[in-house]
Structure 1
Amino acid sequence: MVNHHIKVTQALLSSLAEGGRGINGTAFPMQPVQPLKLYEFEGSPFCRRVREVMTLLNLDYEVYPCPKGGEKYRSVVKQLGGKMQFPFFVDENTGDHLYESQKIIQHLFKHYSASGQTPKAYRYYPKLPYAAFAGTLINGARGVWINKAIQQRPAPEKILELWGFEASPFTRVVRAVLTELELPFIFHNVAKERWQDLGPAKLRLKPGPYQAIKAGKRAQLIDVMARHSKDIQVPYLVDPNTDVALFESADIVRYLQKQYGTAQ
């Protein structure tokens, strides 16, 4: 547990290094009919840029982890796009297959924001993502390489589901493990929709029972989480292959390593 707390602290510092991006999002996202697909790896600063915008727009998407040394989905990217480069984004709603984080971000704002315009703050990025790269180093470069200490198992028949948001340190720890085990998952963004949502569930800025924005995305997800909690708490993992549903990042990490990886 001490080691896990260290990882969470590093993940928190990593989020702070990016200036708080990946926390807030719209309560009323423009979720497309066909699922968005992102081939990426957690420790990539360029992939992180895209995930931050996905959180801002509060979009759900499928993640196909492609860590360095991985074999399951890297070949898929080469087959679909012609080269091994990340992030790689597939939007079956528009027929687009995109490399380059900046192009993906422009696509997301064009098709899935209320204005259809890329905000100035997201229009231009430094060629080298210094802040995000620093965050990767602070986070111990977790989610960059496949975990060679774990005997990889085949991908499960049904895709896992994870609720969280980009800057959540607890969620970041879980996503790193999913990446290192090459486990695909649906990521349900549960971004902070207003200032009253800020802070952990037990330390939220607005005291008293939690009230989500009526008809907002968080309100819709409360029913999904009701089997375990009356509040919005992340990360939350659902594994339809075993009918397991878990809160608490440490419990989720233990479950994933036991269920989908065995020590060599």
Structure 2
Amino acid sequence: MVNHSIKVVQALVSGITEGGRGANGTAFPKQPEKALKLYEFEGSPFCRRVREVLTLLNLDYEVYPCPKGGNKYRQIVKDKGGKKQFPFLIDENTGEQLYESQAIIHHLFKHYGKTGKTPKAYAHYPKLPVVAFAGTLINGARGTFINKNIVNRKAPEHLLELWGFEASPFTRVVRSVLTELELPFIFHNVAKERWQDQGLAALRLKPGKYKALKGGKREQVVARMGRYAKDVQVPYLEDPNTGVHLFESKDIVDYLNRNYGS
């Protein structure tokens, strides 16, 4: 078994290959009234493109993991859209269901961006996601295949809730396990909103006491984080099925494997 710290380093390097995309986002998102539903899997470079934009727009969304070998949500995608192709987005606010990462990205900017237009940097991705695929390989292709120990296990009654952002290596490790365990969850993006947010929670570029941007999304979630109410630390997991609240990626991974991995 690969040491947890090594997994975090691999996830960090994987994020670096994308040039830091998926770390920063708007402080004042246009959050849709009805939750966006994304059917995807962590190891897919095409899905990664979409997740990066969701972080840039700082949108929360529901994730229905579709790892290779999974038998829950892959079939739902086939039933709804006609094929098992990922990512697959359902937007009940507009009534649209979309395949193709570029089409989904255009949709997100059109309806939830500030101008309604897709920025040039996100408008013309290479047909083959070489860079993102390299990131997947560096990350050990985690979050790609089903954990065979949980095949045919029922999904929990309530969606788990995870706070983080796409490029966070600690969050990536947790999302990979959620994918492999085929656990649906609500992902709350907590993107870095300004330069004062840069750096780890204990090592911010701005010295002194951390203070979230007034009125920003980070300020809204700080109070929910218990003992970290004066800062923002991710990942942070809440499991309404058990009442458990956890920080620290290793503790979260151990919890998920212990409670849902067998």
- TM exceeding 0.5: yes
Which aligned pairs between 1:223-262 and structure 2 lie closer than 5 A?
Answer: 223-262=223-262
Which aligned pairs between 1:118-137 and structure 2 lie closer than 5 A?
Answer: 118-137=118-137
Q: 3-state SS of the aligned residue for 2:7?
A: helix
Is the 8 Å Cα contact of residues 25 and 193 (structure 1) preserved in structure 2? yes
Distance 1:85 1:2, change over 3 A: closer
Deviations along 1:13-58, one digit per CA (max 9) or x if unpaired, are: 0000111100000000000100000000000000000000000000
Q: 3-state SS of the aligned residue for 1:226?
A: helix
Stretches of structure 1 lacking an aligned partner (at least 5 in a row) = none
Deviations along 1:98-130, one digit per CA (max 9) or x if unpaired, are: 000000000000000111110000000000001
Partner amino acid, structure 2, of 1:20 = G
Cα distance, 1:229 vs structure 2: 4.3
Quick check: 1:102 aligned with 2:102?
Answer: yes
Distance 1:110 1:211, change over 3 A: same
Quick check: 1:155 aligned with 2:155?
Answer: yes
Following the alignment from structure 1 to structure 2, what is the Cα–Cα distance between the partners of residues 129 and 150?
A: 30
Give 1:209's aligned residue: 209
Following the alignment from structure 2 to structure 1, what is the Cα–Cα distance between the partners of residues 216 and 231?
A: 15
Between stretches 224-233 and 53-62, larger displacement belongs to 224-233
Following the alignment from structure 2 to structure 1, what is the Cα–Cα distance between the partners of residues 225 and 231?
A: 8
Following the alignment from structure 1 to structure 2, what is the Cα–Cα distance between the partners of residues 82 and 153?
A: 25
Give 1:91's aligned residue: 91
Following the alignment from structure 2 to structure 1, what is the Cα–Cα distance between the partners of residues 151 and 121?
A: 42
Following the alignment from structure 1 to structure 2, what is the Cα–Cα distance between the partners of residues 151 and 130?
A: 31
Deviations along 1:79-110, one digit per CA (max 9) or x if unpaired, are: 11011100000000000000000000000000
Is the 8 Å Cα contact of residues 152 and 261 (structure 1) preserved in structure 2? no
Between stretches 228-237 and 106-115, larger displacement belongs to 228-237
Cα distance, 1:9 vs structure 2: 0.4
Following the alignment from structure 1 to structure 2, what is the Cα–Cα distance between the partners of residues 167 and 33?
A: 25
Partner amino acid, structure 2, of 1:23 = A
Q: 3-state SS of the aligned residue for 1:153?
A: coil
Following the alignment from structure 1 to structure 2, what is the Cα–Cα distance between the partners of residues 126 and 45?
A: 12
Deviations along 1:183-205, one digit per CA (max 9) or x if unpaired, are: 00000000000011011001110
Following the alignment from structure 2 to structure 1, what is the Cα–Cα distance between the partners of residues 89 and 167?
A: 20
Q: State TM-score, norm by structure 2.
A: 0.98
Partner amino acid, structure 2, of 1:130 = V
Following the alignment from structure 1 to structure 2, what is the Cα–Cα distance between the partners of residues 76 and 48?
A: 21
Indicate the percent of aligned positions where both proteins have the same amino acid. Answer: 75
Q: State TM-score, norm by structure 1.
A: 0.97
Following the alignment from structure 1 to structure 2, what is the Cα–Cα distance between the partners of residues 152 and 228?
A: 37
Following the alignment from structure 2 to structure 1, what is the Cα–Cα distance between the partners of residues 217 and 187?
A: 14
Cα distance, 1:153 vs structure 2: 3.0
Following the alignment from structure 1 to structure 2, what is the Cα–Cα distance between the partners of residues 196 and 228?
A: 17
Deviations along 1:153-187, one digit per CA (max 9) or x if unpaired, are: 32110100000000000000000000000000000
Which aligned pairs between 1:1-264 and structure 2 lie closer than 5 A?
Answer: 3-149=3-149, 153-262=153-262
Q: 3-state SS of the aligned residue for 2:176?
A: helix
Is the 8 Å Cα contact of residues 10 and 138 (structure 1) preserved in structure 2? yes
Is the 8 Å Cα contact of residues 68 and 145 (structure 1) preserved in structure 2? yes
